Amino acid sequence: MAKKGDKRKTVGLVSEESGQRHYYTRKNTMNTPDKLSLRKYDPVLRKHVLYVETKKSLGRNEVKPKK
């Protein structure tokens, strides 16, 4: 069970090129209020690409299109 004053949130990382979410991580929202962006391996494209932070509770593995 989560602690009452827990500042860490679970976020999903979405590939900018394939648009799929393969990684999840926890970040401290007090220390890093900006969105995370990390270079990680994309198994669909089989190369390293930039992954950006999104909410964990978005659908399955795909990002909803922006309006």
Distance, CA of 43 to CA of 64 (rounded, Å): 20
- Sequence-ordered list of residues with C-beta below 8 angstroms from that of 57, at least 6 positions apart, any chain: none
State the pLDDT at residue 63: 56
State the pLDDT at residue 1: 56
Structural domains in the chain, sorted by start: 11-55 (2.20.28.120)
pLDDT tens by residue, the chain, 67 residues: 556 667 888 888 999 999 888 899 888 888 988 999 999 999 999 999 999 998 765 555 555 566 6
